[in-house]
Amino acid sequence: MKEVTAKEVQQAIERGTALNLIDVRDIAEVEAGHIPGIIHIPLHLMEFRMQELDKNESYIIVCRSGARSGRATQLLASYGFDVANMTGGMSAWKGQVQQ
């Protein structure tokens, strides 16, 4: 499974790199604070909503600590998506947060 650190994601955003970030946390967690511009697809809906994603794009999957995003990353990768898990999740995130 491909992985990227929260710091690497933050640095890419600060450089102006366009990223496709998918937050797989529950609604209440996302509403409490999320990375601006994130796509929200709760983990329990990922299998049903993956057709909304483009296999020609790369995605970084985010959750609170990296466990749920790891499961989502494995699921999407098994269907041929180019995905990476953001290790440490929002617990490791030091960048801008939107509510």
Catalytic residue ranges: 63
Burial of residue 18, with CB atoms counted within 10 A of its CB: 0-12 exposed, 13-18 middle, 19 or more buried: exposed
CA-based angle 75:95:93, to the nearest 5?
A: 45
Reference 87, options 71, 70, 72; nearest CA is 70
